[in-house]
A and B are shown apart, each in its own frame.
Chain A
Amino acid sequence: MTAVAEAGGTVLAVEDLRVHFDTDVGVVKAVDGVSWSLGSGETLGIVGESGSGKSVAALTVLGLVPAPPARFPSGRVYFDGRDLLAAGETELRRVRGRRISMIFQDPLNSLNPVFEVGAQVAEAIRAHDKVGRAAARRRAVDLLREVGIPDADRRSEEYPHQLSGGMRQRVMIAMALALDPQVLLADEPTTALDVTVQAQIMDLLGRLRADRGTAMVLISHDLGLVAGQADRVVVMYAGRVAEVAPVEDLYHRPRHAYTLGLLSSLAHLGGGAGHRLRAIPGQPPSLLAVPPGCPFHPRCGFATEVCRAEAPPLAPKEHPGHLAACHHSDRVAEAAAATLEPAAAVYRNRHMTTAGSQGTPPLLEVDGLAKHYRVRGGTMRAVDGVSFTVGRGETLALVGESGCGKSTTARSVLRLVEPTSGAVRFDGENITGASPARLRALRREMQMVFQDPYASLNPRMTVRTILSEPFRVHGLDPDGQVTRLLDLVGLGSEHSGRYPHELSGGERQRVGIARAVALGPKLVVCDEPVSALDVSIQAQVLNLLANLQEELRLAYLFIAHDLSVVRHIAHRVAVMYQGGLVELADRETLFERPAHPYTQALLSAVPVPDPVKQRARPRIVVRGDVSSPVDPPGGCRFRSRCPKFATELADAERRRCIEDAPALVDRGHGHPAACHYAEVVNVV
């Protein structure tokens, strides 16, 4: 066999793989000359932005890329002494699931909705092992128990839609590990999950793999997640490998300009705030027209003539096992040493005590806001008595996991959703009772930026029409405004005639932001404005939002689940759990001295893109999933998942959590937290 396979303990190797798709508009070179190898028991991280080819390469390993339209102009996939790329369907079927198995991003789509989950796991076993139906079912239940599904006997008879996202992913893991494969391909296994559930799943995967000695390829866009998990990391860009290195080398001593760019553009927990992120300019290239030479050169600050002319080979760097495809590794090394020193620079807060916001009344006051929905079987308390203020020119971040009510709160503030009770005062005026006409007038002052920049732009309108609409609605003249707005958000007038689908994700979000600031509002509600964007684009959009805030003196109500982003952009942070606020503090306090166990768990679950720090951090793990917000029991809502309640408190102390819902008050920590036993712990 080959040199790679002999190099010691390699179980899977991809060599010079090319996957090209013939389409109407040309050849898409999704994977273009990629090599990597996986040692036995090793975790190989593959990171890259959307369209970098990271998933296609893994799917090709199992022959799951339909050909045609795909072609494989070159490449080999070595596994167990065979070339899987040349193997027939029968041979591949014997490998799939049994020797190499896969976990996908969306566990709802990968489970069959009309079969019980236990039956599906049993089916996976029976596809390869000749065991009886009953025996397979027993093994399935054992597996479900092993992946931490409580009451596995009963749950195995449930259907996928009856399980939470985290539970479904556990089922997928049970299925994937049912036959003790040697290799596990995990394609964004936790991207669809909340961060506390992500932490649980990654822990589970780590434990199961250690028991079984399974090697794993972890494909992810999340540099933080990979930092904590991988032994070695492959960075992909435009269908090629940019850099391969042991995890610490990669994060601390990158030798490719793109890797350095990615790392320095990240908003992260440990990082300071109040500065602009170093965004990589431009966008990843279309795979139809990858630039000649080094594909990264149009966006690269180090690029010279040679980068434009010659594609750099993947060459070894000073440490063993470290390869990078960059002509200017030396200069990248110098720059990395200067910029990546963690916590070296102490950033001063931009305007933490926002000038003028002390004496004047707040711009937005939310008081006891509630939104209840009548659902089958009771009342869903989506938002249940939330109070906060936002000052002029200030950013208040509202963070929490999916379903905690943060988006409903945001929409209630704008009265896009009618609140059930509570008051919203904007600029001193109570708008909860405002007439429709008054409300329309108020819309000029308060605007919204949406999460999904594609869904929030009418696909049948050009950018010009979209940006003129706010003016037309309010009887104003849109003449000249479109150009001004495009310029404000960093787009050119050439964009005005385009339709949303002709723009990239980042450009679309800029249009969404331009629409929001068109009428000169005082408050902009941002609902997860960067979570649908690639890492390098996130930084651009965050910087734009920060610039606009300074220029236009905007106040932001910033809804987010990503605490790293929040740390970067917010002045104050409110943490939400099941319809209520659990902690409210200014940014530094919240991140450094969190007092509520939920805030601590949330912070602890967010991976930091630094392998050394990430692996050394204290872990505060919450159990289980969020319980149903329909007619919740009294007392503290977090107690069913609370690590403190479970392990630290005495029975007598627990009584109080069960009987008495804790109010959001300052218990001597300098800021309010809704926990009877609040106690400051530093987890970052």
Chain B
Amino acid sequence: MAAGGRGVPSPEMWRRFRRNRLATVGLAIILVEVAAAVLAPVITFADPGRVDPAASLSSPSADHWFGTDLLGRDLYSRVVYGARVSLQVGIVAVLIALAIGLVAGAAAGWFGGFVDGLVMRVTDVFLAFPYVLAAIAVITAVGRGKTAVTVVLGLLGWMPIARLIRSSVLQAKQTDYVEAARAVGAADLRILVGHVLPNAVQPVVVFAAMFVGTAVLSEAALSFLGAGITEPTAAWGLMMAQGKDFLFTAPHLLFFPGAAVFLTVMAFVFVGDGLRDALDPRVAVR
């Protein structure tokens, strides 16, 4: 992710980040989840797709830590494998949104005038789309699956980023230090990349980190509605969708994937908070 200052994360940034306890906790949760996703075959005992009708809907036990679903599949394995899908969808979607939003927002703020008007109108059009409805429509056209969900979330998520970047660029463009750089003889590109963007990007980085959480949640919502990930892939949202029918008889079907979504979203929000501190050299480091 684009860092502040001269683009290189410094030891001070890490110290500022660490000062924020919750951010450190959030980062730890994310690291554990990533590790779990990578090491899934090693740390699980059952194939997440293995059907066992005899063990249908069994409660958490020593054999099945999180219990099993209707088809008798091991829920622990499915939650761990689900991290692969959910994290990937969340992070890649945000990267797509960032790429579009950064370019569009920076162009709008920097050039102003006609470019600004055009970008902002396009943004308005995209914002007017009901998020879920648009996603469902696109997926229906393109076909369901991990890739489609990722792309849709990215394409429908860039607008707030563009707006944030635009307003920060507008603000930074007005500052004395930008005028000072111009007075020194710096060219436009140098001013934009060296002075404006580093000062404009901070709120976006924070927003993006939190947006990963939202994307995971949206993936869950889409899958829940049946417009997201398809069987037999293990994904948290899909698992919750299937668990809803057994809310009272087998609550663990909802609880474990729900808890995973909750933890992930929370972790990314905390990390976003910490990044805000880390990227601001004015935050005192003790």
Contact = CB atoms under 8 A, between A and B. Distances in A.
Contacts of A459: 177, 199, 281-282
Contact of B177 (A25, A444, A455, A518): A455
A255 to B, nearest CB: 39
Q: How large is the interface on B (under 10, 10 to 19, 20 to 34, 35 or more residues)?
A: 20 to 34
A441 B6 CA distance: 25
26 contacts: A416-B182, A439-B185, A440-B185, A440-B187, A441-B185, A443-B183, A444-B185, A447-B183, A448-B179, A448-B180, A455-B176, A456-B175, A456-B176, A457-B180, A458-B181, A459-B281, A460-B4, A460-B5, A460-B281, A465-B6, A470-B184, A470-B185, A473-B190, A499-B282, A501-B281, A501-B282
B221 to A, nearest CB: 37
B177 A416 contact: no
Given A450-B176, A459-B281, A499-B281, A443 B195 contact: no
A556 to B, nearest CB: 15
A540 B194 CA distance: 31
A469 B186 contact: yes
A414 B182 CA distance: 10
A479 interface: no
A447 B281 contact: no
Nearest to A453: B176
A127 B282 CA distance: 42
A456 B186 contact: no
A21 to B, nearest CB: 15
Interface string B167-202: 000000001110111111111001000110011000
B4 A456 contact: no
Contacts of B6: 461, 465
Nearest to B191: A473
A212 interface: no
A458 B199 contact: yes
A414 B179 CA distance: 11
B284 interface: yes
A546 B194 CA distance: 32
A151 interface: no
A416 B185 contact: no
A249 interface: no
A29 interface: no
A341 interface: no
A443 B181 CA distance: 10
Nearest to B6: A465
A270 to B, nearest CB: 33
A519 B183 CA distance: 12
B19 to A, nearest CB: 10
Given A444-B185, A455-B175, A460-B199, A24 B284 contact: yes
A474 interface: yes
Contacts of A24: 284
A426 to B, nearest CB: 14
Contacts of A460: 4-5, 198-199, 281
A455 B176 CA distance: 6
Interface string B1-25: 0001110000000000000000000
B176, B186, B187, B195 — most chain A CB neighbours (10 Å): B176
B281 A473 contact: no
A322 interface: no
Given A24-B284, A455-B176, A460-B281, A473 B198 contact: no
Given A455-B175, A473-B190, A461 B5 contact: yes
A128 B227 CA distance: 64
Interface string A419-441: 00000000000000000000111
A586 interface: no
Contacts of A456: 175-177, 179-180
A414 B4 contact: no
B184 A443 contact: yes
Interface string B260-286: 000000000000000000000110101
B184 A515 contact: yes
Given A416-B179, A499-B282, A501-B282, A473 B199 contact: no
Contacts of A515: 180, 184
A158 interface: no
B183 A457 contact: no
Nearest to B281: A499
A452 interface: yes
Given A443-B184, A457-B177, 20 more contacts: A24-B284, A25-B284, A414-B183, A416-B182, A416-B183, A440-B187, A441-B185, A448-B179, A450-B179, A451-B176, A456-B176, A456-B180, A458-B181, A458-B199, A459-B282, A460-B198, A460-B199, A470-B184, A470-B185, A501-B282
A558 to B, nearest CB: 16
Best-surrounded residue of B4, B185, B190 (most CB of chain A within 10 A): B185
A24 B176 CA distance: 31
B107 to A, nearest CB: 20
Contacts of B179: 411, 416, 448, 450, 456
Contacts of A411: 179
A441 B186 CA distance: 10
Nearest to B181: A469
Contacts of B4: 460
A439 B179 CA distance: 14
Contacts of B195: 458
Given A455-B176, A455-B177, A459-B199, A473 B282 contact: no
Interface string A492-521: 000000010100000000001001001100
B210 to A, nearest CB: 22
Nearest to A411: B179
Given A459-B199, A465-B6, A447 B176 contact: no
Nearest to B201: A460
A660 B97 CA distance: 62
Given A455-B177, A460-B199, A499-B282, A448 B183 contact: yes
Nearest to B175: A455
B283 to A, nearest CB: 10
Contacts of A457: 177, 180
Nearest to B4: A460
Nearest to B279: A460
Contacts of B286: 25
A473 B184 contact: yes
Interface in A594-623: none
Contacts of B184: 443, 447, 469-470, 473, 515, 518-519
